[in-house]
Amino acid sequence: MQKLQETAEKIRTMEIRGAGRIAKAAAEAIRDYAAGLDVASIEEFSTRIQEASSFLISTRPTAVSLPNAVKLASKYSSGNVEEARKEIIENANCFIERADKALGIIGKIGSRRIQDGDVIMTHCNSNAALSIITTAFEDGKDILVIATESRPRRQGLLTVRHLNNFGVPTTLIVDSAVRYYMKEVDKVIVGADAIASNGALVNKIGTSQLALAANEARKSFMVAAETFKFSPNTILGNPIEIEERSSDEVIDPVILADLSQVQVKNPVFDFTPAKYIDMIVTDIGIISPGMAYAIIKEHLGW
């Protein structure tokens, strides 16, 4: 359990972050936990796997890739401990392989929609969105990227470093400059932490501002998301919880301690309604947000 607890802690503190990376780390943690589980019966095996799954899922509430990965990885049907263990190891490995492949496929499919000369705006740090951008660049397309800083944790700095390593010309802007620069943009490409059955996107706080500004300026808004980022629970009308993180990420606690009348809010995701989304690039192809329900039904086994 110690290694699983360490992974859980890294996800909670965001040492491991990004919806896709979180999903893979959780699948690995369940796999290794099952591999080393010393139990006397299948009932005990089942209880311990369920406990470990719930523990991992509780670390971050919004990215649906986390519960989806844990559920897909921890599935087994055998009543025999050794066979059940084998099933989990295989399912987890299969999930990890699928997740790795998905990024390449999204890059390939999405990059076909990028034109020579495009200016692309992106927000936060999404591997899926970056896969599209760097694939287009490696295909020889002459592109420029405008990347937001993404306060409070400034994941935009990871994005500009990644793009710089690929040699992609990139401009870093503060989040509040999004609308100011939208007139220069051709396409917005962002990642996803979750996609609801009605096609609404949940992604890093501020994403909906990019969507509104893109809509106002009639620019296209593209989401890059693996199929395991779609939320089965939303079919049942359950809302996606928006994670609130510590005020320490926004303001120095020593300064805040002096401000007795001030409270700090730090929601880390927001909702972008489906009507602002032109397309979602997934590992099974490009879909309109209206197809989200079909993805959940056909590709997540609901």
Interaction between residue 204 and ligand RI2 (CB under 6 A): yes
CB of 110 to ligand RI2, least distance (A): 12
Binder among 191, 199, 206, 232 for ligand RI2 (CB under 6 A): 191
Q: Which stretch binds ligand RI2 (CB under 6 A): 18-26, 181-189, 210-218, 272-280?
A: 18-26
Catalytic, 252? Answer no
User: How wide is the angle at C-alpha 135 spanned by C-alphas 25 and 146, nearest 5°?
Assistant: 90
Nearer to ligand RI2, 98 or 204 (CB): 204
CB within 8 Å of 115: residues ≥ 6 apart: 141, 186
Residue 91 touching ligand RI2 (CB under 6 A): no
Q: Which residue in 74, 91, 111, 126 binds ligand RI2 (CB under 6 A)?
A: 126
Nearer to ligand RI2 (CB atom), residue 10 or residue 141: 10
Rg (CA), the chain: 20
Of 288, 280, 135, 272, nearest to 207 by C-alpha is 272
Nearer CB in complex with ligand RI2: 213/225: 225
Size of the site for ligand RI2 (CB under 6 A): 16
- Span interacting with ligand RI2, options 83-91, 126-134, 173-181, 257-265, rule CB under 6 A: 126-134
From the list 118, 193, 278, 283, the catalytic residue is: 193
Report the DSSP pairing between strands 201-204 and 194-195. antiparallel
Per the CB < 8 A criterion, the answer to whether 274 and 200 are in contact is yes
In angstroms, rounded to a whole number, what is the distance separating the alpha carbons of residues 299 and 227? 7
| Token output for 141 | 């397309």
Query: What DSSP state is assigned to residue 175?
Result: G
Q: Which of 4, 7, 8, 18 binds ligand RI2 (CB under 6 A)?
A: 18
Q: Which is nearer to ligand RI2, 142 or 241 (CB)?
A: 241
- The whole-angstrom distance between residue 279's C-alpha and the CA centroid of its chain comes to 16
299: which 2 tokens? 């590709």
Place of tokens 């802690």: 9
Counting contacts by CB under 6 A, is residue 24 touching ligand RI2? no
Pick one of 17, 24, 31, 85: the residue that binds ligand RI2 (CB under 6 A). 17
User: Which residues 258-287 are close enough to bind ligand RI2 by CB under 6 A?
Assistant: 268
Q: Taking CB under 6 A as the rule, does residue 127 contact ligand RI2? A: yes
The reply to whether 155 sits near ligand RI2 by the rule CB under 6 A is yes
CB of 256 to ligand RI2, least distance (A): 22
Does 203 bind ligand RI2 (CB under 6 A)? Our answer is yes
Conformation bin of residue 117: beta by default, left when phi > 0, alpha when psi is -120 to 50: left
Strands (E), 90-169: 119-122, 144-148
Closest contact distance (angstroms) between CB of 17 and ligand RI2 is: 4
Which two structure tokens, joined as six digits, stand for 152?
């409070």
284's CB contacts (< 8 A; 6+ apart) are: 227, 295, 299
Q: Is residue 187 a contact point for ligand RI2 (CB under 6 A)?
A: no
β partners of residue 147 = 122, 172
Q: What are the beta bridge partners of residue 203?
A: 270
193 is catalytic: yes
Least distance CB 244 / ligand RI2 (angstroms): 12
Residues carrying an active site annotation: 124, 193
Binding site for ligand RI2 (CB under 6 A): 17-20, 124, 126-128, 155, 190-193, 203-204, 268
